Structure 1
Amino acid sequence: MLWHRPDVQLLCGVDEVGRGPLVGAVVTAAVILDPARPIAGLTDSKKLSARRREALAAQIKAQALCWALGRAEPAEIDELNILHATMLAMQRAVAALIIQPEWVMVDGNRCPPLPMPATAVIKGDSLVAEISAASILAKVARDAEMMELAQRYPQFGFAAHKGYPTAQHLAAISEHGILAEHRRSFKPVRLIAEQMR
């Protein structure tokens, strides 16, 4: 995938975390880094340890020109589908920035409709520092939400699987039922709901 870095001062990176899980919001982040204050070690959040992600997230929040989070809730995911909900969450993150970017670079193969030019970059979270920063902020934010859910519903094991459709998670849904936070349109949840009728 060929991509080039736009020749602009205010370049925003956008990424999402949480398209695959069966529970919780899809969380997005938008980040405009400060070229005068580069941050070493930015890469795809999935390649970093939780401790390293959290340290980098704190550094990004302190040193970026601006950053913002966006989200789409489970009810919105069920209503719109995960792709459209992700695009909505990305639009919300960009709209929440206190500085309007000149250009947006989005991880993946498509961009949401935005009021400024945008480029989709496949594997952008490994290639573009601004997207790497967004992936780290989104992952840290969503993981924190999963830890809160883990405390509220210890029987579901959210700390371990973060809401992804693991055997442990599916067994917990079968045993303990479907939570308000579950995405009812996702097939594993829908099938269990049908079995429970």
Structure 2
Amino acid sequence: MAKAFIAGRRGITGILEGAERDLLRKLFADIITMLEPDTPAHEDPLAALIGLDMDATVPTDPALLRLLPDAVKNDAGAALEFRQLTERSLRENKIGALRAASLDLDHDKVVLDADRARLWSMALNDVRLVLAERLEIRDEQDADRVHLVQDWGDADDVESYLSLVYNFVSWLQESLVQAMLVGLKSRK
């Protein structure tokens, strides 16, 4: 069973069992797959170098839209222009964080320095956003419904299973953020 992340002298440490590490590795890989853009064969290398993506469009998958939301509300033209200028680098940053977190899953004991902890918090947050969209969490009542499922033996359908995974990732992220806060306080 996982042990919460805690801040210590060597960094932030958490313990994850093999099945938990496998689950996280799979979740990270799934989100990476969602975020990897379809690269057109005719792509301009200079545009790619500076991060432009003139083919960027608003995602049709609601979970992907939750990861890559419109930055400008009530102005579709400005939102699309902003997306074309920034989406490539946002995708790359998210994919980088997910890959970095996945690399730390080779051992039961996960030890993170401040930079790795930041990448982990980004990766866990992206997983939670996708799971929240799949579970249709829109408000506190929806979150309460998801938190009612607490036992793996009760997972008899996809929603129950996703609820348990969401709860696990939420708990893990919360323990990481708390450890990061302790680490910040101890540096002052």
TM tier relative to shorter chain: under 0.3
User: Hey, which of these two has a bigger chunk of strand by percent?
Assistant: 1
TM-score (norm 1): 0.26
Structure (1 or 2) with the greater helix fraction = 2
Give TM-score, length-normalised by structure 2: 0.27
Bigger Cα Rg:
2
